[in-house]
Amino acid sequence: MSHLIAARELSDLLIDAPVRLLDVRWRLDRPEGRPAYLDGHLPGAVYVDFDNELADRGDPRRGRHPLPTREQLQAAARRWGLHPGDTVVAYDDVQSVAAARAWWLLTRSGVADVRVLDGGLRAWIAEELPLALGDVQPRRGTIELHPIPDGSRIGIDEAEAWPRSGVLLDVRAADRYRGDVEPLDPVAGHIPGAVNVPTTVHLDAGRFRSPEEIRATFAAAGAAEGTRVAAYCGSGVAASHTVLAGAIAGIDVVLYPGSWSEWSRRRRYAAIGQTPARVVLPV
């Protein structure tokens, strides 16, 4: 089953099949996406409150965007109108990073058919497809979510040990990986042994590169076939995007949800200013 869907493909699918559309507009400099959603969204799309439905921000030591509990996510999914067997398509308006978080949470919670709109809202608009105004409040769904299996995520101790037996990807921008800047977390740098592969290298003009190109980029980072791969970012959001890229390429990537925001609060040591920094670009 494909993890992505193109705008025209989605438009055709909406004619023949029930699809639950999730508008996951969120970004660090504009976390509240509802005003933009109300001004125009895919017809039938439900707005997803990222900070309150796709994260549990009670304890800052767990990072800036810890995973929600099963109960929290299930309550949100039912508010979105999800039922067993539904096809779900998530989208946002910035490189599919927030949508990938929704994809990761739902697929790991047992929802079988979850896809990300490749290119997001911009791809839909570029195809001159219609938008709707106002809010969508569906009837409450009946979906039953499963607990997220431990094998799909790691904690801080596993992240520390991971580079000794696998490849740990730091998917933030290169300047944050090197420790040149740190605008959000207490300590600059990266987890010792991590390799920098910014998640944006898996995109071309906002859409995902081909599986072959993504596999080549992973291989350049040392993640050849059979290698154990884990990914982290600032707060576990962009790393979900790298997990999605891996899935597109047939590579299993484990998520470290706490990411640098947890590490910098609990470990408070880092590899800083390595020369040259090991940064992998698309090949």
The answer to whether residues 178 and 101 touch, using CB atoms and an 8 Å cutoff, is no
Q: Rounded to whole angstroms, how far apart are CA atoms 282 and 198?
A: 10
Task: Tell me the CA distances in angstroms from 262 to 31, 60, 190, 192, 274, one per residue in order.
Answer: 20, 8, 12, 15, 22
Phi, psi of 4 (to 5 degrees): -120, 160
- Distance, CA of 3 to CA of 247 (rounded, Å): 8
233 is catalytic: yes
Q: State the residue for tokens 């200013």.
A: 273
Active-site residue, from 89, 94, 231, 233: 233
**CB-count burial class (<10 Å; 0-12, 13-18, 19+) for 84:** exposed
- 64/58 Cα distance (integer angstroms): 9
Tokens of 128: 């001159």
- Radius of gyration of the chain measured on its C-alpha atoms: 18
Residues in the chain, how many? 283
Residue 30 half-sphere exposure toward CB, CA atoms < 13 A: 11
Closest by Cα among 221, 49, 27 to 120? 27
Distance CA 72, CA 2 (A): 27
For the annotated catalytic residues, the residue numbers are: 233
